[in-house]
């Protein structure tokens, strides 16, 4: 938007665009200047009011060809500073002004506003469009959050409302590792500040958290813009927030819609859970369920990160609510009824209304879909007679013939139909009653219909006598046909029930098989699946036992040799025990697999010890022999009487022998320490220890080390000699891999109650795929010098560090190389008293 020239009427406020970044160096200023150049190339009047390039050559080059307003000098407490000349920018009155450092605080007395964002508001009020830049840590609402993450307080902030009023906020995003590489290459800070920044503010965890904050803040603003758009265009509907969402599936065509809707609700809350549940009746029947649809919907729910559950219950609504409460769900999603108006009138209120009534403090979402109110597409698997149909059947059998008699006796219908047509209409009514209430209701309807036919439509009218034999035959045939039709309808429903049971059993077994194939067939998972499937209060696995346990009224089934499943709850009919036996067989197979895995785990230490022994013998055969041979040769030469050595030669041979014995001693000490760690016999003397206390001795063998500032690093709880060994081993390893002329860097920082010591080299880094083997004993990853030791340095360093309640983790050095990070707790924040203790553990 262009500024309105003076004298043309009221000034239209300018538009604000903000480039938002997660951290310094992501490229906000560069992108801002790049847009300024693009606008200027299109003919816009663009000036640079204030830009801070921080000595970055690429950023400074972007100023070429742009008009820059001179800064205003100002003095404060004896120093000279420069601020944006707000008056000069207002007087210049460009279309677009570039103003960097949105959160900057002006030097007192350097302008008429205390904050730069207030200067920007004046420019906007004057009709000038402004492009600015801001880091996420400067937002007022996130100030304390960022300080907790980075341990760095932020004193310059901008009210969120000021930024939210911007017409456009563009996120400048870069992955943490990319930003660290940019830092390592010297593109952000001066070289002398790079290592300290990488070890402190620009840690991968800090950058990841700041990036997430920036993404969430921008996403929140996008949502606000969307809500505003929907309000302006009259678009209704609310997007619910989620905590723990359960979606009810029937296997109908609306399932996909419900799952996606529930997933969107769940995604609105960080860390939310999505659960899908399908209720199968205890008789094996599920209302309107399709095996193929359920299988497809199960895959969809798992693809969306949710979990699928199947429960058993005679009352679907009660089963849904009980499952939701058991899973501590806060929201329940189900579809509106697919039943038509007539079906709802006949069968009464549906599952949705009952769920709402029973839900209590659980929020219920009834989601509309294209099949709502159109009737079910799939064959019903309901019981032959539900409670509603058992009541509606006899009532309909009694009232429907009476209502039909009343209609046929009206003036408009009287005399227009013969007896045959009237009998067929009554027969149709009997068929309808049979479909609703079964045989018993059909008998009531046929008896009522026959009496009404006789009394109202067969001469003599108004009497229960029959003068015409044909009428008697017709009435008898009517009763027989009505009874046969009722029996056929009832038999059809029973066959449908059996078919549905078989399908439900196949679905259950297919679901169980799918769980096993996907690797979820652990014993607890199978036991819980059994409880869910059969709707039991509890299911336990009793093993090993020789005989079935005496559990009173519980159901007990064998689950392999010496194992039994104990189910407590409802009594299972014989029809369900067949499926239960299959579940028990799978549980038994899982028990056998667990025993085999346990046996394999018992053998694994023996195998590991054998591998260690082989590696040890191989290493000892070469690495111990080398210093031993050198020392032996030096001593043998000195003892020889055949050669006369000069004093210098004797001194050199003695030094060789001394160095060889010292090296041999270090190798033996490493082996002994490794064996003590593995045997749990290492004795620690933990006390408050400073890095200055242990570094001089640790640097003895590796003098070419650049040490950062350690003055403000707090003391840690450690064993000083062991900490010295850890740092010495890491420094020696880093020195062996560093290129000639590049010193090893040692820095330290304090964060979240722990001190992190970083040993940084600029070598080749870890070979691909070798990170898992880095800490294995007798490994020399990328180290071709076999004279340097047994390959125990990193294994010992990690074992000793973990013994002191610390961690040792490798990180890639930005720009190439390896960084080893030792993390130890503060001495004053650890509740463990100082003193001597023994620890153990594998290496």
The 10s digit of each residue's pLDDT in 115-166 is 999 999 999 999 999 999 999 989 888 888 888 888 788 788 899 889 988 9
Q: Report the CATH number at residue 713.
A: 3.30.565.10
Integer Cα distance of 217 and 683 in angstroms? 51
Q: Is 520 part of a structural domain of the chain?
A: no
Q: Are 797 and 679 in contact (CB under 8 A)?
A: no
Which residue has tokens 């023994």?
Answer: 838
Q: Is 656 part of a structural domain of the chain?
A: no
Q: Are 309 and 277 in contact (CB under 8 A)?
A: yes
Q: Is 351 part of a structural domain of the chain?
A: yes
From edge to edge, which strands make up the β-sheet containing 363-367?
A: 307-312, 273-280, 244-249, 331-335, 363-367
Q: Residues 637-649: pLDDT tens digits?
A: 777 777 777 888 7
Q: What is the pLDDT of residue 500?
A: 65
**Listed residues 199, 232, 265: the one ending a domain:** 232
89 and 168 inside one domain? yes
Q: Residues 3-15: pLDDT tens digits?
A: 444 444 467 899 9
228 and 324 inside one domain? no
Beta strands in 121-217 (DSSP E): 129-135, 168-172
Q: Report the CATH number at residue 253.
A: 3.40.50.620
Averaged pLDDT, 347-366: 79
329 and 397 inside one domain? no
Name the maximum alpha-carbon separation found in the chain: 155
Q: Residues 433-467: pLDDT tens digits?
A: 877 877 778 888 878 887 887 778 777 777 777 66
341 and 442 inside one domain? no
The band of 525, judged by pLDDT with boundaries at 50, 70 and 90, is confident
212 and 287 inside one domain? no
Whether 737 shows a pLDDT value over 80: the answer reads: yes
778 and 806 inside one domain? yes
Going 238 to 239 to 240 to 246, the CA torsion angle's sign is positive
Q: Is 647 part of a structural domain of the chain?
A: no
Question: Which residue range is the domain that position 63 belongs to?
Answer: 16-232
- Which 8-state DSSP code applies to residue 328? T
Q: Is 765 part of a structural domain of the chain?
A: yes
206 and 66 inside one domain? yes
The band of 239, judged by pLDDT with boundaries at 50, 70 and 90, is very low
414 and 452 inside one domain? yes
Integer Cα distance of 248 and 263 in angstroms? 12
Residue bearing the bigger pLDDT, 429 or 785: 429
Q: Report the CATH number at residue 118.
A: 3.40.50.300
Q: What is the pLDDT of residue 787?
A: 46
What totals of helices (H) and strands (E) does the chain contain, helices first? 24, 24
Q: Is 577 part of a structural domain of the chain?
A: no
Whether 546 shows a pLDDT value over 70: the answer reads: no
Q: What are phi and psi of 760, to 5 degrees?
A: -115, 130
Q: What is the pLDDT of residue 582?
A: 78
Which residue has tokens 């400048």?
Answer: 172
Q: Are 279 and 319 in contact (CB under 8 A)?
A: yes
416 and 492 inside one domain? yes
Q: Residues 779-794: pLDDT tens digits?
A: 554 444 444 444 566 7
Please tell me whether residue 179 adopts helix, strand or coil conformation.
Answer: helix
Task: Tell me which long-range contacts 569-574 makes (C-beta under 8 A, separation of at least 24).
Answer: 569/534, 569/535, 569/536, 569/537, 569/538, 570/282, 570/535, 570/536, 572/534, 573/283
| Pair of tokens at residue 183 | 């830092």
Predicted structure pTM score: 0.43
21 and 164 inside one domain? yes
Write the CA distances from 782 to 4, 30, 590, 617, 807, integer angstroms.
68, 40, 43, 21, 23
Averaged pLDDT, 542-564: 73
Q: Is 704 part of a structural domain of the chain?
A: yes
72 and 42 inside one domain? yes
**Listed residues 208, 232, 256: the one ending a domain:** 232
Integer Cα distance of 761 and 746 in angstroms? 9
Going 464 to 469 to 470 to 475, the CA torsion angle's sign is positive
Q: Are 708 and 195 in contact (CB under 8 A)?
A: yes
358 and 248 inside one domain? yes
- 298-325 burial, b at 16+ Cβ within 10 Å, e below that, comes to bebbeebebebbbbbbebbbebbbebbb
Residue bearing the bigger pLDDT, 74 or 412: 74
**Listed residues 472, 496, 520: the one ending a domain:** 496
CA 50 to centroid of chain Cα atoms: 43
- Angle of helix 351-358 relative to helix 316-326, nearest 10 degrees? 40
The band of 38, judged by pLDDT with boundaries at 50, 70 and 90, is very high
The residues facing 707 across adjacent strands are: 746
Q: Is 26 part of a structural domain of the chain?
A: yes
Q: Please count the structural domains in the chain.
A: 4
Asked if omega into 460 is within 30° of 0 (cis), the reply is: yes
């Amino acid at each position: 938007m262009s500024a309105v020239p003076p004298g043309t009427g009221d000034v239209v406020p300018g538009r604000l665009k903000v480039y938002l970044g997660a951290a310094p160096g992501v490229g906000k200023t560069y992108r801002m200047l790049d847009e300024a150049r693009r606008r200027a190339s299109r003919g816009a009047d663009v000036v640079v009011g204030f830009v801070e390039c921080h000595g970055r050559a690429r950023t400074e080059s972007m100023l070429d060809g742009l008009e820059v307003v001179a800064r205003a000098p100002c003095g404060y407490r004896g120093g000279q500073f420069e601020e944006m000349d707000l008056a000069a920018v207002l007087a210049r009155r460009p279309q677009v002004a570039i103003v960097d450092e949105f959160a900057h605080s002006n030097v007192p007395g350097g302008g008429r506003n205390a904050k730069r964002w207030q200067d920007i508001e004046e420019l906007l009020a004057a009709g000038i469009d402004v492009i600015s830049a801001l880091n996420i840590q400067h937002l007022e609402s996130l100030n304390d959050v960022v300080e907790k993450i980075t341990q760095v307080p932020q004193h310059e902030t901008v009210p969120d409302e000021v930024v939210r009023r911007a017409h456009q906020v563009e996120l400048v995003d870069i992955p943490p590792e990319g930003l660290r590489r940019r830092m390592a290459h010297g593109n952000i800070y001066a070289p002398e500040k790079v290592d300290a920044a990488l070890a402190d503010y620009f840690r991968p965890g800090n950058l990841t958290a700041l990036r997430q904050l920036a993404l969430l803040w921008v996403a929140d603003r996008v949502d606000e813009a969307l809500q505003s758009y929907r309000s302006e265009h009259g678009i209704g509907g609310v997007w619910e927030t989620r905590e723990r969402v359960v979606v009810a599936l029937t296997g109908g065509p609306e399932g996909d819609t419900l799952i996606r809707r529930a997933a969107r609700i769940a995604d609105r809350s960080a860390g939310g859970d999505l659960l899908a549940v399908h209720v199968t009746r205890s008789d094996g029947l599920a209302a309107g369920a399709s095996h193929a649809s359920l299988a497809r919907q199960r895959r969809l729910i798992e693809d969306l990160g949710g979990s699928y559950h199947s429960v058993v219950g005679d009352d679907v609504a009660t089963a849904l609510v009980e499952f939701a409460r058991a899973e501590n769900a806060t929201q329940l999603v189900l579809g509106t009824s697919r039943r038509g108006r007539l079906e709802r009138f006949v069968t009464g209120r549906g599952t949705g209304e009952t769920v709402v009534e029973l839900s209590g403090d659980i929020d219920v979402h009834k989601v509309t879909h294209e099949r709502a109110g159109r009737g079910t597409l799939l064959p019903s698997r309901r019981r032959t007679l539900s409670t509603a149909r058992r009541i509606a059947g006899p009532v309909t059998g009694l009232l429907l013939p009476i209502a039909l008699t009343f209609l046929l006796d009206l003036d408009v219908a009287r005399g227009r139909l013969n007896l045959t047509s009237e009998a067929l209409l009554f027969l149709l009514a009997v068929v309808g009653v049979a479909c609703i209430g079964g045989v018993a209701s059909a008998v009531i309807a046929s008896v009522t219909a026959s009496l009404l036919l006789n009394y109202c439509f067969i001469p003599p009218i108004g009497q229960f006598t029959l003068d015409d034999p044909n009428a008697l035959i017709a009435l008898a045939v009517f009763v027989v046909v009505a009874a046969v039709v009722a029996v056929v309808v009832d038999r059809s429903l029973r066959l449908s029930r059996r078919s549905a049971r078989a399908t439900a059993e196949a679905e259950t077994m297919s679901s169980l098989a799918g769980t096993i194939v996907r690797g979820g067939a652990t014993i607890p998972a199978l036991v819980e699946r059994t409880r869910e499937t059969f709707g039991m209060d509890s299911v336990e696995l009793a093993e090993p036992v020789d005989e079935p346990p005496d559990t009173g009224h519980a159901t007990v089934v064998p689950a392999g040799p010496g194992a039994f499943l104990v189910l407590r709850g409802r009594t299972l009919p014989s029809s369900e025990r067949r499926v239960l036996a299959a579940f028990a067989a799978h549980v038994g197979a899982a028990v056998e697999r667990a025993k085999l895995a346990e046996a394999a785990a018992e053998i694994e230490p023996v195998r590991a010890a054998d591998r260690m022994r082989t590696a040890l013998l191989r290493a000892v055969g070469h690495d111990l022999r080398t210093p031993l041979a050198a020392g032996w040769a030096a001593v043998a030469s000195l003892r020889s009487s055949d050669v006369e050595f000069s004093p210098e030669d004797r001194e050199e041979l003695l030094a060789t022998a001394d160095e060889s014995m010292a090296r041999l001693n270090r190798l033996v000490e490493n082996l002994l320490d490794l064996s003590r760690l593995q045997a749990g016999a290492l004795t620690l003397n933990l006390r408050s220890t400073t890095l200055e206390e242990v570094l001089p001795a640790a640097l003895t063998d590796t003098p070419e080390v650049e040490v950062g500032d350690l003055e403000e690093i707090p003391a840690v709880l450690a064993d000083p000699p062991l900490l010295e060994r850890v740092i010495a081993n890491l420094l020696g390893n880093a020195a062996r891999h560093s290129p000639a002329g590049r010193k090893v860097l040692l820095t330290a920082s304090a964060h979240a109650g722990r001190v992190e010591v970083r040993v940084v080299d600029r070598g080749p880094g870890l070979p691909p795929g070798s990170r898992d083997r880095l800490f294995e004993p007798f490994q020399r990853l990328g180290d071709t010098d076999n004279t340097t030791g047994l390959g125990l340095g990193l294994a010992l360093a990690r074992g000793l560090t973990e013994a002191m309640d610390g961690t040792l983790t490798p990180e890639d050095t930005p720009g190439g190389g390896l960084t080893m990070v030792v993390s130890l707790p503060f001495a004053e924040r650890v509740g463990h008293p100082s003193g001597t203790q023994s620890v153990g553990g594998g290496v």
